[in-house]
């Protein structure tokens, strides 16, 4: 049983774990791209990638608010902005990847 | 549910209003399932992105054919689009849960399968052409 009252089937724990997996993946996915940009000497892209990686790391920290909500039976559920932040992180990776691919193609 | 919950319902300022401004509060378990489904879609998007990033990383190290950068680029763009699709799907499902409507079909599943098949087919054809030329 969940240690949180009135919540069956370990739902808060599963949701929290799902968030952690997603946030950690969002953080590490950019690292190889930054390394590639450094190798290709595309400094602006490497700098932007580093900022995006740090932003994704901040996402992991901000998740504690969501975990507080999950542990509070009276809290209303509002994961929208957290989901949007992950989508923004993905967009950064997508843009960085596409531009790096273009640089590689034109090299 | 407690008094704080009822008070929260009156002062509900959650965003987006297109989702939280309609219907009534669903069972939290369904909401959390919807959230986990959206996150699963996000991770699928990130898997596509990771594939693209890995291909770009390898192509910068080895002398891979130029078209591999195009395939990597397509994977990255597809992953980015899929991530935003997950946000839209989350909102649609949450709205359906709140208004007691039938859940919308997972249309992104068809797009994802189609996209992956096209990408795999394109890679296979380009690899074969490369092989026959060498």
CA–centroid distance for B75 within its chain: 13
**A87 found inside a domain:** yes
Q: Considering only CA atoms, which of A94, A21, A82 is closest in space to residue B82?
A: A94
Compute the distance between CA of residue B107 and CA of residue A13 in angstroms, rounded to an integer: 28
Compute the distance between CA of residue A56 and CA of residue A37 in angstroms, rounded to an integer: 18
Q: Is the pLDDT of residue B4 over 70?
A: no
Position A7 scores a pLDDT of 54
CA–CA distances in Å: residue B44 to residues A39, A104, B86: 28, 25, 10
Compute the distance between CA of residue B117 and CA of residue B81 in angstroms, rounded to an integer: 16
Q: Mutation test of the interface with chain B: which of A8, A22, A101, A103, choosing the one with the most B Cβ atoms within 10 A?
A: A101
pTM of the predicted model as reported, rounded to 2 decimal places: 0.86
**A24 found inside a domain:** yes
Q: Which residue numbers in chain A have pLDDT < 50? A: 1-4
Give the residue, A68 or B128, on which the prediction is more confident. Answer: B128
Q: Is the pLDDT of residue B65 over 90?
A: no
Give the residue, B3 or B11, on which the prediction is more confident. Answer: B11
Give the residue, B25 or B11, on which the prediction is more confident. Answer: B25
Q: Is residue A73 less than 8 Å (CB to CB) from chain B? A: yes
Compute the distance between CA of residue B112 and CA of residue B122 in angstroms, rounded to an integer: 15
**A91 found inside a domain:** yes
Instruction: State the greatest distance between any 2 C-alpha atoms of chain B, in Å, as a whole number.
Output: 74
Q: What is the DSSP string of B55-81?
A: HHHHHHHS---THHHHHHHHHHHHHHH
Enclosing H/E stretch for B86: helix B67-98
Q: How far is A21 from chain B (nearest CA, A)?
A: 8
Position B38 scores a pLDDT of 95
Position B11 scores a pLDDT of 63
Instruction: State the greatest distance between any 2 C-alpha atoms of chain A, in Å, as a whole number.
Output: 59
Q: Is the pLDDT of residue B96 over 90?
A: yes
**A6 found inside a domain:** no
Model confidence at B64, pLDDT cuts 50, 70, 90, reads: confident
- What backbone torsions phi and psi does residue B63 show, to the nearest 5 degrees? -90, 70
Compute the distance between CA of residue A40 and CA of residue A96 in angstroms, rounded to an integer: 13
Compute the distance between CA of residue B38 and CA of residue B40 in angstroms, rounded to an integer: 5
Model confidence at B112, pLDDT cuts 50, 70, 90, reads: very high
**A3 found inside a domain:** no
Compute the distance between CA of residue A21 and CA of residue A12 in angstroms, rounded to an integer: 14
Instruction: Please judge whether B53 and A86 are an interchain contact, meaning their C-beta atoms are less than 8 angstroms apart.
Output: no
Model confidence at B9, pLDDT cuts 50, 70, 90, reads: low
Domain with A28, as residue range(s), is 13-72+80-106
Q: Is residue A67 less than 8 Å (CB to CB) from chain B? A: no
- Give, to the nearest 10 degrees, the angle between helix A11-28 and helix A80-106: 20
**A7 found inside a domain:** no
Instruction: Please judge whether B39 and A18 are an interchain contact, meaning their C-beta atoms are less than 8 angstroms apart.
Output: yes
**A8 found inside a domain:** no
Instruction: Please judge whether A94 and B61 are an interchain contact, meaning their C-beta atoms are less than 8 angstroms apart.
Output: no
Mean of pLDDT over chain B: 88
CA terminus-to-terminus distance, chain A? 58
Task: For residues B39-59, give the mean pLDDT.
Answer: 93
Give the residue, B51 or A67, on which the prediction is more confident. Answer: B51
Count up the domains in chain A and report the number: 1
Position B130 scores a pLDDT of 87
**A2 found inside a domain:** no
Q: How far is A48 from chain B (nearest CA, A)?
A: 15
Instruction: Please judge whether B29 and A78 are an interchain contact, meaning their C-beta atoms are less than 8 angstroms apart.
Output: no
Provide the 10 A C-beta neighbour count for residue A9: 12
- Which residue does chain B place closest to A31, by CA atoms? B53
Percent over 70 (pLDDT), chain B = 92
Position A9 scores a pLDDT of 60
């Amino acid at each position: 049983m969940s240690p949180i009252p009135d919540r069956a089937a370990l739902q808060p724990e599963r949701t929290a774990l799902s968030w952690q997996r997603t946030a950690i993946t969002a953080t590490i996915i950019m690292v190889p791209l930054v390394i590639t940009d450094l190798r290709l000497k595309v400094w602006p892209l490497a700098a932007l990638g580093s900022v995006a990686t740090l932003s994704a790391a901040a996402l992991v920290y901000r998740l504690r608010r969501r975990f507080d909500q999950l542990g509070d039976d009276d809290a209303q559920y509002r994961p929208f902005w957290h989901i949007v932040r992950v989508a923004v992180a993905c967009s950064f990776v997508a843009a960085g990847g596409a531009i790096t691919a273009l640089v590689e193609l034109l090299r | 549910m407690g008094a704080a919950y009822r008070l929260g319902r009156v002062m509900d300022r959650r965003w987006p209003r297109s989702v939280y401004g309609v219907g009534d509060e669903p069972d939290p378990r369904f909401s959390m399932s919807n959230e986990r489904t959206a996150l699963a879609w996000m991770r699928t998007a990130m898997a596509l992105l990771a594939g693209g990033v890995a291909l770009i990383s390898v192509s910068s190290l080895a002398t891979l054919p130029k078209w591999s950068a195009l395939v990597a680029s397509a994977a990255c763009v597809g992953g980015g689009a899929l991530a935003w699709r997950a946000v839209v799907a989350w909102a649609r499902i949450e709205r359906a849960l709140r208004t007691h409507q039938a859940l919308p079909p997972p249309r992104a599943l068809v797009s994802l399968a189609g996209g992956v098949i096209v990408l795999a087919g394109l890679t296979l054809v380009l690899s074969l052409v490369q092989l026959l030329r060498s």
